[in-house]
């Protein structure tokens, strides 16, 4: 049986698998006044999946009024330039990652790993994704006028301007890439991070927020005891580190 093109997480929030096997997700947030926000855009090749997911939510590309990016990596910002051009939507991102998005380049990777050094060299040779026109830069603690209030939670480490986004009214936390949930909760791949140690430090704020649903940008969402499960992962990860 084919998997759905989108999953409704709350009355106004949908998760769109923008790659195979729930590998990477985008999210749609709907406002009562008709505004449609797309959080992350998947890869440059994710356009068809985004359109199919929007259709399941009763929307199309032309309905998108705003694009918000969790960070400037090609699997999250890869489709931003095309979707922004097709929809006329403005694109927002954290102020630290904004210069990278404008150039279509990922921030440097973690140099403590061999693969991180190799990926950084590869990134330097050509743009990682089509350059994006950024209309708005936000910072930690900003509350975007989306879905009753979308709070920006700066969690650097995966990228220097990486953020999680908390839909305060509906209790949905979009985690970003600090923690993945592919088969089980895990840390992001070291080589994909700018600073894996910092990533693991700042991720602990995700256990302190108030939410009912954890919507991961990689992997399936968690809708039952989400905060407790995230806290459990963080607690166990800390215990392993100290063992």
Label residue 55 by pLDDT band (50, 70, 90). very high
**Mean per-residue pLDDT, 34-42:** 97
Element at 231 (helix H, strand E): helix 226-242
Label residue 89 by pLDDT band (50, 70, 90). very high
**CATH code for residues 7-242:** 3.60.15.10
Rounded to two decimals, what is the model's pTM?
A: 0.95
Average model confidence (pLDDT) across the chain: 93
- DSSP tally for the chain: helices H, then strands E: 7, 14
Structure tokens at 133: 């026109």
DSSP 110-129: -TTSHHHHHHHHHHHHS-SS
Write down the pLDDT at residue 130: 96
Lowest model confidence (mean pLDDT) among 109-113, 179-183, 191-195: 109-113
* Structure letter (DSSP) for residue 3: P
Residue boundaries of the structural domains of the chain: 7-242
Rounded Cα–Cα distance for residues 217 and 60 (Å) = 21
List the one residue out of 63, 8, 60 whose CA is nearest residue 36.
63
Write down the pLDDT at residue 239: 61
* Structure letter (DSSP) for residue 12: T
Burial of 1 (0-12, 13-18, 19+ CB in 10 A): exposed
């Amino acid at each position: 049986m084919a998997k759905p093109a989108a999953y409704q997480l709350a009355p106004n929030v949908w998760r769109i698998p923008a790659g195979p096997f729930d590998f990477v997700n985008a999210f749609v947030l709907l406002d009562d006044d008709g505004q449609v926000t797309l959080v992350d855009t998947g890869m440059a090749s994710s356009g068809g999946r985004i359109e199919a997911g929007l259709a399941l939510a009763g929307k199309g590309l032309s309905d998108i009024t705003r694009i918000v990016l969790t960070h400037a990596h090609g699997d999250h910002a890869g489709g931003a330039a095309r979707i922004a051009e097709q929809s006329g939507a403005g694109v927002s991102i954290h102020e630290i990652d904004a210069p990278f998005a404008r150039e279509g380049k990922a921030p440097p990777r973690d140099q403590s790993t061999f693969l991180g050094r190799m990926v950084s060299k590869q990134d330097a040779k050509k743009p990682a994704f089509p350059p994006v026109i950024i209309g708005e830069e936000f910072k930690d603690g900003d509350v975007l006028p989306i879905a009753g209030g979308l709070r920006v939670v700066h969690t650097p480490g995966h990228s220097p301007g990486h953020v999680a986004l908390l839909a305060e009214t509906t209790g949905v936390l979009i985690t970003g890439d600090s923690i993945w949930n592919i088969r089980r909760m895990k840390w992001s791949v070291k080589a994909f991070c700018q600073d894996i140690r910092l990533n693991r430090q700042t991720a602990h704020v995700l256990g302190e927020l108030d939410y009912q649903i954890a919507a991961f940008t990689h992997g399936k969402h968690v809708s039952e005891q989400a905060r407790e499960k995230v806290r459990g992962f963080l607690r166990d990860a800390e215990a392993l580190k100290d063992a």
